[in-house]
Amino acid sequence: MELRAVQEVLKEERLDGWLLYSFGGSNPLALEVLGLAHLHLTRRFAYLIPKEGEPTLLCHAIEESLFPPLPGNRKTYHTWRGFLEGLAHLLRGVRRVALEYVPGGQIPYLSRVDGGTLDLLRGMGLELASSWPLLLLFQTWDEERLQSHRRAAAGLARAKDLALDFLRQNPEASEREVQSVLVRALEAEGLIFDHPPMVAFGKNAANPHHEPSEARLEEGAVVLLDLWAKVPGGVYADLTWMAGKRPPEAAHQAFQAVARARDKAIAFVAKAYREGRHPKGFEVDRVARQVLEEAGYGPYIRHRTGHNLGEEVHGAGPHLDDLETHDFRPLVPGLAFTVEPGVYLPDFGVRTEVDVYLHPTGPEATTSLQEAITPL
């Protein structure tokens, strides 16, 4: 943790401190920031980073030995009264404090502190603020992470090509058979993933989270491949690719619409950067959805335009979203996210998905931009 950088943001945001609180694993964001995600914690802890001076850890006495050396001091408790007294002492002189919380629950990814604890802190006279400006420090990538992402992206592309070759050689293959090809290919690349890839044929592609089945590829069907993976210890890459066995013209038209929406979203981010502005996640979602709505596909949109990428495939950083949530966070340099507009009609679904990394000068698409449905 770069304590000085955290304290600079605290001062910029006019915050007296950042209270990283968790009961066991209830706040994965706090655990990730403090490097504690690998620990088996079962009690409450609080770690206060003040805008000036040394941080302080308050933890249960039986778990003190589990915590690695963290900057600052540490105090212990072993009774509930001791915890409340320790917390009050910890927060003495603090008026406005940041937590993993968003007013109204607008961004569920960040709303990790339970309501009872929020009541407790407000009852102590504290003004609560969201920690999202501080979390951005930990959600941006350094060069090492970017390179791990590039390696994962290259592996995904090769796995996708192997799956398409398999379909050409086995034109009546099942979804699960293609999924197995993808799994073996990703494992051969040395990549890991939290869930096997998605493969959907025909009408099944109209379900954005379809679970592959024994359904076999038929004439006139689209094929949707969605795969994601990372190098161990790295960050994720995520890719969706469309193919088809002579799909109907309606599918081609729908794909062209989602490709235009994708390109318009990326162009909007690039223009904002040229103008010296960091666009908000919700703005980019609106731009992409407007393209689809004007083309008549509004009723067939089922999800946001994109999600943050990190150590989890759906990271906790800013999303391109004004559909499922209102993500007001800025897309600052060092962040990465997907751009994946899709439309899901009764007989088929289409989606295009690329990964984007933000340099100080603007966006870079780190995966290929598909321009048309790949014929099988």
Where b means 16+ CB within 10 Å and e means fewer, 100-125 reads bbbeeeebebbbbbeeebbeebeeee
CATH architecture of the domain 140-375 equals Alpha-Beta Complex (3.90)
The HSE-up count of residue 4 (CA atoms within 13 Å, CB side) is: 0
Cα–Cα distance between 198 and 313 in angstroms, integer?
14
pLDDT in tens, 83-103: 999 999 999 999 999 999 999
Res 186: pLDDT? 98
pLDDT in tens, 226-260: 999 999 999 999 999 999 999 999 999 999 999 99
Domains 3-138 and 140-375 alike in fold: no
Domain ranges of the chain: 3-138, 140-375
Give me the percent of the chain exceeding a pLDDT of 70. Answer: 100
pLDDT above 90: residue 1 = no
The pTM assigned to this predicted structure is 0.96
Q: Is 46 a residue whose pLDDT tops 90? A: yes
pLDDT of residue 95: 98
Neighbours of 287 (CB within 10 A): 20
Q: What tens digit of pLDDT does each residue of 98-127 get?
A: 999 999 999 999 999 999 999 999 999 999
1.25.40.10, 3.30.750.24, 1.20.1600.10, 3.40.350.10: CATH of 3-138 = 3.40.350.10
Q: What is the mean pLDDT of the chain?
A: 97
